[in-house]
Amino acid sequence: MLTRRPKIAGKVLLLPIGQIEPSPYQAREEFDEQDIAQLAASILQNGLLQPVSVRRLAPGRYQLIAGERRLRACKLAGLYELPAILCEYEDAQTAALGLLENLQRQALNPFEQAKGIRELIALWGCTQEEAARRLGMAQPTLNNKLRLLSLSREDQNTCLALGLTERHARAALRLPGPERKKALEQMAAQGMSAKQADAYVEKLLSRPPRRRSIPMVRDVRIFINTINRAVRLMVDAGVPASSRRIDGEGYIEYTIKIPTGRSPAGPVLQPPQGPPASPLQHREEALTAQR
């Protein structure tokens, strides 16, 4: 529990910077390099006024609990050692303290806060309600923060790059995934407040659904070539198919005739048998008949 008073293994110690490892539970992903440089200059002038907190991993090895910015600034300033308070904390307590320090300093963006809270819940193995109580946060607030992780990484980066707030991001969450980025860009371009962003999303959701249009090929020559090719294939295969094209005003009419091999109903005419008779043969047959 965070309410348990930590055991202090000793007074403030001067530890070599090389023996201090960053915390694997650091929720903050981005650090302002200019801010770190300014802090390093202040440390060179005035010293480190607030010690960092560490825990012992092994002889000569320590892990940072709180004070990532200070540790980075001391390294940038070229210090060999820095003051540190040695504490005895377990993993869950270490992660919680690192997150709480950043929350109190408002040093995390909304998505880093959400990721840190999610990791704490996993470490504690507790419910969201219990996590909210431990963090001193209302449960709806905690739930709203966790919902931000439903945004894609690209949408999260868009929010941060455009300087949008947590409420802008939550408003965009109501939209289907493919529409979120464009909506976020519009919110920023029009300088919408959080309230205006909610109204904008509500307007988008109330639009009537678009009718799905059947995609058509703009160049009809593709269809014409396909028809001609099909007719040629049938002719080459021995099927006496034929086509007729009529170019009308604003349209093209095609008539395709494909024989099926069946003759229409009616008497069946038999082809003549043998070679055709000559005129002399016809005259002899006529005389024979008169006799």
- The yes-or-no answer on residue 285 being catalytic is no
Q: Report CA Rg, the chain.
A: 42
Euclidean distance between CA atoms 171 and 200, whole angstroms: 9
What is the H or E stretch that residue 55 is in? strand 52-58
Q: Which of 21, 33, 68, 285 is catalytic?
A: 68
Which tokens hold the place of 35?
A: 């801010």
> Cα angle at 93 between 152 and 101, to 5 degrees?
65
The pair phi, psi for residue 13, each rounded to 5°, is: -110, 150
Contact between 81 and 114 (Cβ < 8 Å): no
Contact between 107 and 96 (Cβ < 8 Å): no
Q: Is residue 141 left, alpha or beta, with left meaning phi > 0 and alpha meaning psi from -120 to 50?
A: alpha
Contact between 82 and 17 (Cβ < 8 Å): yes
Euclidean distance between CA atoms 51 and 251, whole angstroms: 84
Euclidean distance between CA atoms 168 and 155, whole angstroms: 11
Catalytic sites, residue numbers:
68
